[in-house]
Chain A
Amino acid sequence: KQEVTQIPAALSVPEGENLVLNCSFTDSAIYNLQWFRQDPGKGLTSLLLIQSSQREQTSGRLNASLDKSSGRSTLYIAASQPGDSATYLCAVTQAGTALIFGKGTTLSVSS
């Protein structure tokens, strides 16, 4: 059974720092991996989608990498801002399944 783990569970950084969020999964037979952002009490916003054949995707200050063979993904946030404060969720899709989520990393960026 696929399990997704995110480390750390919480992270606090000062504004301007570059940071990395980690995601690992136990079964490398995935179709794709998605990173989401969730603000408190709100729904999910899709940030980046990486297909299983891809190594990375970039959107603005965000860069997500995927190493399928080792079961790992990272989300790199450059020059963090207070508006980046949210919970970041990693999720994978396998054959015949909907997304399987990690528990998330709650990020706090102080000004």
Chain B
Amino acid sequence: SAVISQKPSRDICQRGTSLTIQCQVDSQVTMMFWYRQQPGQSLTLIATANQGSEATYESGFVIDKFPISRPNLTFSTLTVSNMSPEDSSIYLCSVRGGVTYNEQFFGPGTRLTVL
């Protein structure tokens, strides 16, 4: 299985500021995914990040609000821009791997609180 780390693990931010979350994987992967989990809710996919191309965003998520970088096959960043209290969530990075390359693994998450 892939080992995924995220930084920071948690943060408390002021309204209107931006936070960049880093995701590091211990092996090269083609596709990386960013999810959001709002309080008491399940996970919602924000975007899919492929190395060397623009991220693909899901309905309701836009690049200006959640810019993503994918500079190589083991690293990605997600920025939450111009934050509001509604952005308070756990943000999770995920990759596909495993024996059949279609098992999905998740990082420990970044718990964001916006005041």
B41 x A32 contact (CB < 8 A): no
In the complex, what residue of chain B is closest to A93 when comparing beta carbons?
B102
Q: How many A residues touch B, CB cutoff 8 Å?
A: 21
Would you call B103 and A49 a contact (CB within 8 A)? yes
Interface centre among A32, A89, A101 (most CB of B within 10 A): A101
Task: Say if the beta carbon of B100 comes within 8 Å of chain A.
Answer: yes
Set of chain B residues within 8 Å of A99, measured between Cβ atoms: 33, 43, 45, 94, 104
**Interfacial chain B residues near A49, Cβ < 8 Å:** 98, 100, 102-103
Interface of A is mostly: strand
* Alpha-carbon separation in the docked complex, A43 to B42 (Å): 12
**Chain B residues positioned under 8 Å from A51 (CB to CB):** 100, 102
B contacts with A, residue count (CB < 8 A): 22
Which chain B positions have C-beta within 8 A of A103? Answer: 41-42
Which residues in A have their C-beta under 8 angstroms from that of B33? Answer: 98-99
CB 8 Å contact bits of A7-33 with B (1 = contact, 0 = none)? 000000000000000000000000110
B107 and A46 contact, CB distance less than 8 A = no
A41 to B33 CA separation, bound complex (whole angstroms)? 19
Which residue from A34, A89, A101, A102 sits with its C-beta under 8 Å from B103?
A34
Nearest-CB residue, chain B, relative to A48: B103
A residues within 8 A CB of B72? none
Closest 8 CB pairs of A and B: A44-B106, A43-B108, A43-B109, A101-B42, A103-B42, A49-B103, A101-B43, A43-B106
Query: Given A46-B1, A49-B102, A91-B43, 13 other A-B contacts at CB below 8 A?
Result: A32-B103, A36-B106, A41-B90, A42-B109, A43-B107, A44-B106, A49-B100, A99-B104, A101-B44, A102-B42, A103-B41, A103-B42, A104-B42
Q: What is B's interface to A at a CB cutoff of 8 Å? A: 1, 33, 41-45, 48, 90, 92, 94, 98, 100, 102-109, 111
